[in-house]
Chain A
């Protein structure tokens, strides 16, 4: 019989090494799978992980893809640290895009340089508003925020669908479900000429640094960590759990809303029924891949973005199916969770009776 036994002390180094280990194991297993599919594993791994970023266009696209993931994941990580499980970032992203993008549509003739900053504010407000609902339900009625935030995602997606099929439909668009294109003043400036890297990418870097400072240097960051790790101790010293719920859901919502605004005012340039391929959900994986630490999340976001780009190129150059992308992400998460378990527990073989009362 096999048992898991908690380690009294777990190695701090392993906490940070486990993602690296997980990535290495993913490469090995991925290579084996490629070999079974009749592809040269080294070629395939090269195509998957190196080819996408061996030119400047590829690197710029990596940044474009990682931007929303990183911004959302930093916000989510704050909540996860305090045991606030916001699963609805996708909906908050959508509401941010609706609020901020709606402004661009309302002022579709505008050339004002104030439009963009106003869109930032409304985008963040839209996401925060959508995060406030689960916060209210949790603090007033003790409703589980996992369920409420997830369900609100579908409400937000359908609301966007309603808007672009109806009142916000492009009057010159032959009745197809999409809004007008945003005016130039409502489009994010491009940072690198000839690429799609936009101002949002710079904001993502800023969010990482600010998140790091918040967690490590501020009182509220300290409270977040204590509430998550030792809720009873936190209550004892008077940290209010409700305040943490509000703070993390508003912050997570605002960041997701910003990420949504960046998608529609960056690479997409208008509102349409589908604006995100599930960034709000993928960001949950990114948050854990990055150890709920903003700097780790930066790397986690880049790696996750790379698997998408690699999956596309694997289809184009090797004729591999799209499912390979999901497979890689699944294997990565599997090994990450396995490494985490083994960091915190040790495996014991043999029955309890034979070993005596070890635990």
Chain B
């Protein structure tokens, strides 16, 4: 079966399903989903992956759903207008896909109680406002294990966006993964102060490689740092999507955001009238976090990476298992305990051993 046939079959199945539930449930309605993106859909990272999720809704629900998106919406006064316009133009399910949209989303949600809102990576919820995010730190731990095995200089270069808990948590998780196989690894961090700026991201990567880094990790959205790694002959990890075509010789794996199943499930919930406000934080086990194929590494490293990811997915292992000390030497998570989600969500401290200071 070719891809378009699969799509059409799925669409037909979905349409029949929608029809069937339509007869049963009184609240059934066609889904008109609107998406607000912080970057261009061509960023090949964060916004691109959300847009793939949007397309999954269209593919799965077929005629029962239509979707719209607005890209590169600044996280200031403009967001509220764009979200309002989506609500006013008949969209009944609106995804706002960046942390900075939290307050505008909350404001608009109050004014449109019949529209369902989904805000990514935030913490404010309401009866018609859900939140969702993914446990990318799980993927970063796996990446750390690979980096610990693959580095020769024992220096890892890390391009950060902003020192928010999401990114700090990722650095801590990555380094715990790296130290689990190689205690001599050191990390050098450069803050690009942007989520998407290929020029700045690339410059940061160059500076890190000049300082001896032979593994490039990024928490920014463009493929630029990985491309720099490719050109300089060092290794690296893709961000948000499988970036292998940008760096066929450099990419070890990528931590892929996969919103497809969540978006489809939420759209279906609106279609059959079962949508409820909730908070979702999914990891490798739910498929929200995916590891791109392991490439450019020997088989034993690949096997170790697969095993680590499988242990995290099964719940056998949690990256933030104590004892965990912060840089001041204070015990934050006791031996054998696991950091709770509250601590993870508000993480604003580096673990002991990271030789850098968190920008304050």
A316 near B76: Cβ-Cβ < 8 Å: no
B76 near A312: Cβ-Cβ < 8 Å: no
Complex Cα gap A43–B257 (Å): 37
- Of all chain A residues, the one with the shortest Cβ separation from B347 is A175
CB within 8 Å of A: which B288-321 residues: none
A277 near B74: Cβ-Cβ < 8 Å: yes
Q: Which chain A residues border B346 with CB–CB below 8 Å? A: 174-175
A57-B88, A176-B164 given; A312·B77 CB < 8 A: no
Minimum distance in angstroms from A194 CB to a CB of chain B: 9
Complex Cα gap A276–B75 (Å): 9
Q: Which chain A residues border B100 with CB–CB below 8 Å? A: 272-274
B163 near A165: Cβ-Cβ < 8 Å: yes
- Of all chain B residues, the one with the shortest Cβ separation from A274 is B75
**A-B pairs under 8 A by CB, number:** 94
Minimum distance in angstroms from A177 CB to a CB of chain B: 6
Complex Cα gap A312–B348 (Å): 36
Complex Cα gap A176–B102 (Å): 11
Q: Which chain B residues border A158 with CB–CB below 8 Å? A: 193
Complex Cα gap A309–B85 (Å): 10
- Of all chain B residues, the one with the shortest Cβ separation from A263 is B77
Q: Using a Cβ–Cβ cut-off of 8 Å, how many residues does chain B contribute to the interface with A?
A: 36
Max count, chain B CB within 10 A of own CB: residue among A165, A263, A276, A317: A165
A64-B77, A165-B162, A308-B78 given; A315·B69 CB < 8 A: yes
Minimum distance in angstroms from B58 CB to a CB of chain A: 12
Q: Which chain A residues border B70 with CB–CB below 8 Å? A: 312, 315-316, 322
Q: Which chain B residues border A321 with CB–CB below 8 Å? A: 71
Minimum distance in angstroms from B205 CB to a CB of chain A: 20
A277 near B81: Cβ-Cβ < 8 Å: no
Complex Cα gap A232–B38 (Å): 50
Complex Cα gap A159–B50 (Å): 31
Max count, chain B CB within 10 A of own CB: residue among A158, A162, A267: A267
B345 within 8 A of A: yes
Complex Cα gap A267–B81 (Å): 10
- Of all chain B residues, the one with the shortest Cβ separation from A269 is B103
Q: Which chain A residues border B123 with CB–CB below 8 Å? A: 174, 176
A316 near B345: Cβ-Cβ < 8 Å: no
A6 within 8 A of B: no
A322 near B72: Cβ-Cβ < 8 Å: yes
Contact of B348 among A65, A175, A275 (CB under 8 A): A175
Q: Which chain A residues border B164 with CB–CB below 8 Å? A: 165, 175-177
Max count, chain B CB within 10 A of own CB: residue among A266, A273, A313, A319: A273
A175-B164, A175-B348, A312-B81 given; A274·B360 CB < 8 A: no
B68 within 8 A of A: yes
A161-B193, A263-B77 given; A317·B359 CB < 8 A: no
A312-B70, A316-B68, A316-B89 provided; 15 other pairs, C-beta below 8 A?
A: A57-B84, A64-B77, A162-B360, A174-B346, A177-B164, A196-B81, A263-B76, A263-B77, A272-B75, A272-B76, A273-B75, A275-B76, A277-B76, A315-B68, A316-B34
Q: List 9 A-B contacts (CB under 8 A).
A: A57-B84, A57-B88, A65-B77, A161-B193, A174-B345, A181-B103, A272-B100, A276-B76, A277-B78
